[in-house]
Amino acid sequence: MEVKVSDNIILIGTAHISKDSVKEVRAAIEKYKPDIVAVELCKRRHEAITKKDKWESTPVTQLLKSNNAYLMLAQTFLSSIQRKLGKEYGVEPGSEMIVAMQEAKKFGLKVALIDRDISITLKRAWRKMGIREKFRLTWEFLKAMLGFEDEELEDLDLKKLMDQDVISALMEEFGKIAPSATNVLIHERDTYISKKILDESKKGKVLAVVGAGHLKGITKHLEKKKLDVDLKELEYLPKKRFSLLKAIGYTIPVLFAVLIVFAVMTKGTDLALWMFFYWFIINGICSAVGTAIARGHPLSIATAFVAAPITSLNPAIAAGWVAGYVEAKLRTPVVKDFKELSKLDSLKDFLNNRVIRLLMVVALANVGSMIGTIVAFPYIVNLLGG
């Protein structure tokens, strides 16, 4: 889809899995002969499609932190969906972006990356979300990861995905799960991309290759011909706030200590020991079950069982980090595992890859520990009142 905003700005709306988009991009560059070819990519996404071996240099320790685990699992899973859809239409995801850059190089044109860093976008969105939205997003993601099979792609509305690029479609779905993040995921990006295009247009004629889902928003901004926008503000990552979740995390060990002391003073040490016992068993079992679902090594499962009751009382440490460390030592991912991340298509592929298994151990051990805390705390309070 082509939109000529002005003599100096032409927009080409594409789908990342469309052969037609590839042809349209090539034809538009030959037709308009721009000075600059702008592509809706950030540096990270640019490297993802041009440097397929980027995973090979990833330190294993980087996979252990829970935030990294969730982000990398999400990126790998979404990439697999793009690959499956690409196979459906016989084209590699992002081919039109690659062709745009290749054509620019062939004609000696400047290439401009005009999208905001995807990690900044996702982190800004995460910090806008409330507790309920975060829980819902985590649940939806885990359901998708654990239930992902080839046949499930048949349920996707391929026609809708062809009407816009996959990233935009996925961003819209994300926005439905977490409405408070919609502004960051969609509207902020429209504004950011528009500003980058306007800035580039001051240097010459720009042909911008963007997802079709962004065309309407970007065109609206560009028609103003002037955007009073500070890109640094849109790139700024607000400092982490002391959220309710963190407050609860720091409150739990204090309340637990108070309950134990109260139990000793009013009902004796026997009850306090039983409270310790049930806290340990419930929290440990839930985290161990999560690790087992991730198909962790037996020693990783045992580690999660022992670590979760302790780490749940220490907000600075997560059970998944400890279990993940053991899993990484026992089943250290090798270069082959990192290379295969770009080829994962089925549930079987996901479960057999050591990198994915490590990420799942970290994520599900943490989720299990969180569930264990939610279950165990009211239980020991009930013991005290019994």
Q: Which of 30, 203, 41 has the alpha carbon at shortest distance from 107?
A: 30
Task: Report which residue type is found at 204.
Answer: G
Q: Are residues 198 and 52 in the same domain?
A: yes
- Greatest Cα pair distance, the chain, in angstroms, is 86
Q: How many domains are contained in the chain?
A: 2
Residue at a domain's end among 182, 213, 235: 235
Residue-wise pLDDT tens for the chain (386 aa)? 788 888 899 999 887 666 778 888 999 999 999 999 999 988 877 876 776 555 555 555 655 655 555 566 666 665 655 555 555 555 566 788 889 999 999 999 999 999 998 878 878 887 777 777 777 776 766 665 555 444 444 444 544 544 555 555 666 666 677 787 778 878 889 999 999 999 999 999 999 999 887 888 899 999 887 788 888 888 887 666 555 566 777 788 888 899 999 989 988 899 999 999 999 999 999 999 999 988 899 999 999 999 999 999 888 888 988 999 899 888 887 666 766 666 666 666 666 788 888 888 988 899 899 899 999 988 898 888 76
Q: Are residues 183 and 72 in the same domain?
A: yes
The confidence score (pLDDT) of residue 17 equals: 61
Q: If you write DSSP's letter for every residue of 221-252 in order, what string do you get?
A: HHTTS-----HHHHH--PPPP--HHHHHHHHH
The confidence score (pLDDT) of residue 386 equals: 63
Reported pTM: 0.66
- Within 8 A by CB and 6+ apart from 269, the residues are none
The confidence score (pLDDT) of residue 152 equals: 44
Residue at a domain's end among 177, 203, 235: 235
Write out the residue range of the structural domain in which residue 25 sits.
Answer: 2-235
What is the sign, positive or negative, of the torsion defined by CA atoms of 252, 180, 120, 100? positive
Q: Are residues 254 and 379 in the same domain?
A: yes
Q: Are residues 319 and 196 in the same domain?
A: no
Q: Are residues 66 and 101 in the same domain?
A: yes
The confidence score (pLDDT) of residue 83 equals: 57
Q: If you write DSSP's letter for every residue of 95-151 in order, what string do you get?
A: HHHHHHHHHHHHTT-EEEE-SPPHHHHHHHHHHH--HHHHHHHHHHHHHHHHT--GG
d(Cα 5, Cα 25) in Å, to the nearest integer?
Answer: 16
Residue at a domain's end among 235, 269, 286: 235
Q: Are residues 112 and 259 in the same domain?
A: no
Q: Are residues 169 and 77 in the same domain?
A: yes
The confidence score (pLDDT) of residue 31 equals: 92
Q: Are residues 180 and 58 in the same domain?
A: yes
Q: Are residues 61 and 185 in the same domain?
A: yes
The confidence score (pLDDT) of residue 198 equals: 92
Q: Are residues 205 and 270 in the same domain?
A: no
Q: Are residues 104 and 34 in the same domain?
A: yes
Q: Are residues 328 and 372 in the same domain?
A: yes
d(Cα 365, Cα 375) in Å, to the nearest integer?
Answer: 15
d(Cα 248, Cα 269) in Å, to the nearest integer?
Answer: 26
